[in-house]
Structure 1
């Protein structure tokens, strides 16, 4: 997420502490929050998928090769 957008999200949060946000500002803040949340979870997912599990017997399993429960 761009620094400009993070700064705007911080600005809207600061404004909300001093006065009620308008409907447009609330919608913008929610959109920015959703974008931030998606960026953070996307980064975390990529980090986890790049990891390797080393089993006690020394074998290695890439996390990205593991199948999640319930997913095909």
Structure 2
């Protein structure tokens, strides 16, 4: 049951990101301190950020005591 709920949450999140991406095709760039990214569509940037957010817990797992 837990697996199904996680899958359902993943599908809803993916659908929301896809819908947001289609509706917001305006080019944006990120600025952080002295760094600035290239201009890319907001939806594509959101997909990159979501992918990084999904991988961070798996990459940080070996750092746990």
**Normalised by the shorter chain, which TM-score bucket?**
0.3 to 0.5
More contact order relative to length (CA 8 Å, sep ≥ 6): 2
Which is greater in Rg?
1
